[in-house]
Amino acid sequence: MAVACAGVRISNVKGSRLLFVPDRQELFGVSSTTQQLWPLLQSGIAAGQFAARAAALGEDGLALLDQLVAIGAVHYISAGDQPLDIHDRVTISAGHTAIGLSFTGAESLARLRCIFRHLEAPSLPEAEVVIVERENGVGIAFSGDELEVLAWREAGPALKLLITELALDAARGMTLHLGTLQRDNEALLLVGEPGAGKSTLSVALGRHDFELWGDDLAELRPDGRVQPLALPATLKDGAWPMLEHLHPELKGGEAFVRPDDKTVKYLPLPPAAKAPVLRARCALSLRRDADAPPGLEALDAKDFIAAMIGGGWSGDHRLTSDDFDGLAACADGIAFFRATYPDLPTALSLVEEAWRLLGTAQ
């Protein structure tokens, strides 16, 4: 399949058809056929189909493709240097980037597309990921890279990891490791060490008067607001029985095994055009402990900032001045509690208590 490279544009300028290739910083004159067929290349088209469409317009399509590839305007979706025959292709929007997912077969499309269906958008991809069916599994890679061949049970986590990498690379600031929920146009933030129950509680709250926007990552703005990265929620096997009454699809959903040997299922979020930018009202640091007294403990701004830094990610792995400004602004307008709980019902009641206390204080 041939696809236009990201950022390449064609415009008419005083009767001339000009193609701009940003990677080369060059302009090229192109034929009317190229201009007419350019939308097909932007969405992706098999070389044979492109050749047939070009022939109907009186031009050698394969020669035209060779020219466009040579100047860096078009590339072939490939595994290594081997072009692929694509069964179907969808585009998802993850944070600030659009990603093309190209599937070579119906099975991979059926088993993996559903995980990210809430992110599908009519955008032009800025990056390409290929999902190539194999006899006993699937190969996954960025287009042009060598495939990592996996068993089917490993495919979901591998694909989510590549998508997360691209979303983090496109982030415009520090990314925080937390769950983000919305209520009354404000955000509830959930933080915690692995195993604290952040994703389980996030998903449960999404069916208890909160709107779930992300269970794992959110981008921090310099003014202290957060914008969640709405990737599918990741639920470990221990959470499934607790949430099946809220999400019956978990009973039949496909299970995957992550590289850390945890068995997980993915829960797509409700479709949305774009995650909102929210001012946080409350943050809870989760501590699941059956032997400790349950309750809320108020924490100070230093504790909050330390918790955010501990789970944060930035492009150069450093805390910038803008990052600190964002953390300080967020901490200045937020109430922060440690929530100690033994089970999910107690955690839900503690969230409601914290939200109610803040409403009373205001």
Q: How does DSSP assign 8-41, residue by residue?
A: -EEEEETTEEEEEETTTTEEEE--HHHHHHHHHH
Residue 183 shares a structural domain with residue 165 = no
Per-residue pLDDT tens digits for 9-56 = 999 999 899 999 999 999 999 999 999 999 999 989 999 999 999 999
Whether 291 shows a pLDDT value over 90: the answer reads yes
| Token pair belonging to 4 | 């236009």
Sorting pLDDT into bands at 50, 70 and 90, what band is 361? Answer: very low
| 26-29 sheet: strands from edge to edge | 9-13, 16-21, 26-29
Q: What is the pLDDT of residues 115-138, one digit of tens each?
A: 999 999 988 899 999 999 998 899
3-state secondary structure of 140: strand
Whether 161 and 304 map to the same domain: the answer is no
Q: What is the DSSP string of 200-236?
A: HHHHHHTTTT-EEEESSEEEEPTTS-EEEE-PPEEEE
Enter the DSSP assignment of 159. H
**pLDDT value at 362 more than 50:** no
Please give the mean pLDDT across all residues of the chain.
Answer: 92
**115 DSSP assignment:** G
Do residues 37 and 181 both lie within one domain?
Answer: no
pLDDT at 64 over 60: yes
For residues 197 and 285, state if they share a domain. yes
Do 221 and 350 belong together in one domain?
yes
pTM for the model stands at 0.89
**Shared domain check, 160 and 187:** no
**Under 8 Å between Cβ of 20 and 30:** no
pLDDT confidence band for 311 (50 / 70 / 90) = low
Answer yes or no: do 230 and 268 share one domain.
Answer: yes
Look at residues 120, 138, 169 and tell me which one is the last residue of a structural domain: 169
Last residue of one domain, picked from the residues 34, 57, 74: 74
Q: How many residues does the chain have?
A: 362
Task: Give the range of the structural domain holding residue 31, as residue numbers without chain letter.
Answer: 2-74
Q: What is the CATH number of the domain that holds 224?
A: 3.40.50
Q: Are 206 and 235 in contact (CB under 8 A)?
A: no
Q: How many domains does the chain have?
A: 3
Q: What is the pLDDT of residue 351?
A: 96
Name the token pair of 320: 């910038």
Nearest to 208 by CA among 358, 359, 355: 355
Same-domain pairing of 50 and 91: no
